Structure 1
C-alpha cells in the first residue's frame, strides 16, 4: 500500500511528486511514465516560465540549477500585419512595465530538458522512485483505495492516483470524466533558430492571418519559435525541405537579426481547446494538460500546470497534516475549487484571442489594433496585464507560487 501514485513524468508530474515528497517525507509516493529513462534529455523544445512558476521551482530547490540556461524576457513587442506586408507596425510593447515587483523579469525562456532534468535529479535524494517505461493500464477504486494495474504486470494499492498523462489522458477516460473539446484546425510548429545579431532579451509576437508567429529569446544568439499555421499548411512546411522551410521562415521572421539558421528539429502539434468537466473523482485527480489544454497564444499552458501542482500539493499536504484521508473526494474538491475558475477563464481568454487575431477581416483588424494602441498608452493597464501573466494576481495564491514552502 502506497499513499500516492503519480502517472506522468513530465514537468507537471515530476514537480508534483517532488513537492509532495519534499513537504511530507513520510508519504510513500511513486511516479510512472511510459517514456524511456533518457527521453527527456532529447527534448529540444523550450518554454516560458513566469514568475510564479519560477517561485515554485525555487521552493523545490531546483531553480539555481536551471538558472544558468534560462534567458530572461526583458521586452515584449506585439505587431499585427499580413505576411506580405513590407512594414509591421508595432502596436504594443512591454518594457518597464514588464519588470516584476522584485526587479526581476516577469518570465524566462528555459529549455524543457533543463527543467525536467533538474526535477529528475531532485527526486533521487528524496527517495522518490521513478519507474520509466511503465504506464497505468487500468485502475478501479473502492471507498478506501485505488487499485492500479501497471504495464509491467505489477499492481499498486494507493490512497490517491494523480493523472498527469497529457491532453489526451487515458486515465481521464477510464475515470469517466468528460471534456469540452474542439479542434482549432491549426497546428503549432516548434523549432529553434540561430541568428547573427543578439535578440537583447526581446520576445515578439506577430499576429498573422493564419495565427500568431512568436519568437522567444534563448541563451546566445538563438530564439525559440512557436509558429501557428492552418494544420494542412503546418504539416506541409514541416515535411518540406530545408530551403523551402527557411524561405517561409524568413518571410515571417524578417532580417532584423541577420541571417537565420534552423538549429533544432521541427515538429507540428495540433491545437485545440480541452477542458475537463471535473478535475477530481474519489481517489483520483487530474493535473496539467490532462485537466486543461489551451491555445499557446498567451504562452500560459505550462504555467497553468505548475499552478495545478502548487494547489494540489498544498491541498494534499494540509489534509495529511490534519489527519484526513488524502484521497477523499471532499478533500480533493478543495483543489478543484481552487483551480477550476482560473483554468476556465484562461481557456476562454485564449480562445477569444485566437479567434480575434487569427483572421484577416478588415473591421476586426481595425478594432483590435485600436485596442492594442489604447493599452500601449496606459501604463497602469500594462502593469495589470503583466501581473496576470506572471501568475501572481489574486488574493488566495498557493504558497509555493509566492515563494513560500508548504
Structure 2
C-alpha cells in the first residue's frame, strides 16, 4: 500500500527508516504475525532505478544471517543479487601469518553472501509496497516525536500525524529519532577512512573473500557478480584525499602494491567513495515505547564484516518479541517486551563490538611483539582448527540471540 492523502493514522508499530534493517523488520513482523499487526515504514529516500553497475555498494551477509532471512521467508528477495562466499582468506601484509576458512571444510554450502545494496533496496521497497498490512510513507521523514503513557505520536515532513504503540528507530548511524527522545551516542574514532569501490581482476575470484591487514588498516575484497569484487580499503585520514585524487590506473597500482597478486592484475576500478570509520553506540537500546535497531543501535568498523549482521540479529530478535507479545495478547510496545529484547541483545552486542574493536587495534599496531603474536596466532589457526572455531563461528553469524 502507498500512503498519499494527509491525515492521521494509527499503527501497532512504526519504523523510522526503510533501508535493509527497517524493511527487514517490517517484513519479519508481517511474516511472524501473519500480517495481524499494522506496520508503517517511514523512509526518506526513493531507491534509484538506474542499474548501479560498478558504483553499487555491497554488504556481506554471514551464513547465519542468510539462514535467518530464509526462515523468515525474506531470503528470496535478495537471493537474485547474492554472490556466495566459499572461502575467506586472512593474511597480514609483510608477515608470515595467514589462515583460510572454507565452506566445504565446514560442510556448508557457503560461508556467506555478498549482497548488492542498490538491487536489494529496490526489491525490498517493492515488497513493502505490496505487503498486506505494511504502509510505506516514502519519501517522508519524522519531524516531531512525542510520547504519552500508551502511545507515541509522530509528525511527518508533509504534516501527516501518525500514532503507534511502538516506535522503532532504524534511521541510521546519526538517528534523528534517537535524538528526539534523548538517547545519546558513544563515539570512538578509529582514525581510519574506508575507501570503497568495485574492481575487476584478471583472475576469477571463485567465491573467495580476502581480508589483508596492513599498517594503515585492513584491505578487504569480497566476491561480486560479473566477476567483480567489492573493495573496502582502510587508510589513515590524511591519506584519503590523495588516494581519491589518483587516476583509476594510479589507484589500481597502489592497491596492487598493498593487496598483492592473489587475484592477478587489477584491471578496472569503479567510482570511489570514502567515509570515516567511527564506532557509534546508542547508550540505550530501549526507552518508553521506543526500540533501536541496526546502525541506529551501533555502527561498527567494517573489519570482519560484522556490522549489518549484528544489526540483523537485532531486527529479527525484536520481531520475535513483538510477535510473542501479540500472540500472548499483550501490548506490543510495553516495557516487558522491550526488556526481553534488551536482555537477548546485550551479550551478543557487547561481544561483537569488543571483537571488532580488538581486531582493529590489534592488527593496526606495528609493535614487534604484537606483530609477532598476531602472526603466530594466524599461523596456529591455519594448523589447529580448534583455535579458529570461535572466530569462524562469529564470522558466520552462528551466535546466540
Using structure 2 for the length normalisation, give the TM-score.
Answer: 0.91
2:130 to 121, 125, 137: 125
**Post-superposition shift, 1:26?**
2.3
- What secondary structure, in the 3-state scheme, does the structure 2 residue paired with 1:139 have? strand
- Which residue number corresponds to residue 78 of structure 1? 90
**Post-superposition shift, 1:153?**
1.3
- Which residue number corresponds to residue 144 of structure 1? 150
2:12 to 3, 6, 12: 3
Kept in 2: contact 1:106–1:386 (CA 8 A): no
- What secondary structure, in the 3-state scheme, does the structure 2 residue paired with 1:17 have? helix
- What secondary structure, in the 3-state scheme, does the structure 2 residue paired with 1:124 have? helix
- Which residue number corresponds to residue 160 of structure 1? 166
Structure 1 gap segments, 5+ residues each: 83-87, 398-406
2:64 to 42, 49, 52: 52
Kept in 2: contact 1:50–1:391 (CA 8 A): yes
- Which residue number corresponds to residue 341 of structure 1? 347
**Post-superposition shift, 1:393?**
2.9
Distance of 2:137 and 2:264 partners within structure 1:
46
Q: Please list, as runs of the form range in 1=range in 2, the aligned pairs for 1:177-326 lying within 5 A after superposition.
A: 177-326=183-332
**Post-superposition shift, 1:39?**
7.2
- What secondary structure, in the 3-state scheme, does the structure 1 residue paired with 2:40 have? strand
Kept in 2: contact 1:40–1:117 (CA 8 A): no
Q: Does residue 36 in structure 1 map to residue 41 in structure 2?
A: no
- What secondary structure, in the 3-state scheme, does the structure 1 residue paired with 2:239 have? helix
Q: Does residue 377 in structure 1 map to residue 383 in structure 2?
A: yes
Distance of 2:61 and 2:224 partners within structure 1:
12
- Which residue number corresponds to residue 403 of structure 1? none
**Structure 1 154/239 Cα, relative in aligned 2: closer, same or farther at 3 Å?**
farther
Distance of 2:261 and 2:47 partners within structure 1:
40
- What secondary structure, in the 3-state scheme, does the structure 1 residue paired with 2:329 have? coil
Question: Which deviations, in whole Å up to 9, do the C-alpha atoms of 1:274-313 show, x marking residues without a partner?
Answer: 1222101111110001011111111010101110111000
Kept in 1: contact 2:303–2:360 (CA 8 A): yes
Structure 2 gap segments, 5+ residues each: 1-9
Q: Does residue 16 in structure 1 map to residue 28 in structure 2?
A: no
Kept in 2: contact 1:77–1:90 (CA 8 A): no
Kept in 1: contact 2:218–2:233 (CA 8 A): yes
- What secondary structure, in the 3-state scheme, does the structure 1 residue paired with 2:234 have? strand
Distance of 2:50 and 2:195 partners within structure 1:
19
- Which residue number corresponds to residue 93 of structure 1? 100
1:327 to 312, 323, 333: 333
Kept in 1: contact 2:140–2:156 (CA 8 A): yes
**Structure 1 65/316 Cα, relative in aligned 2: closer, same or farther at 3 Å?**
closer
- Considering only aligned residues, what root-mean-square deviation do their CA atoms show, in Å? 2.0
Question: Which deviations, in whole Å up to 9, do the C-alpha atoms of 1:354-386 show, x marking residues without a partner?
Answer: 111013222211111111112221123323332
- What secondary structure, in the 3-state scheme, does the structure 2 residue paired with 1:149 have? strand
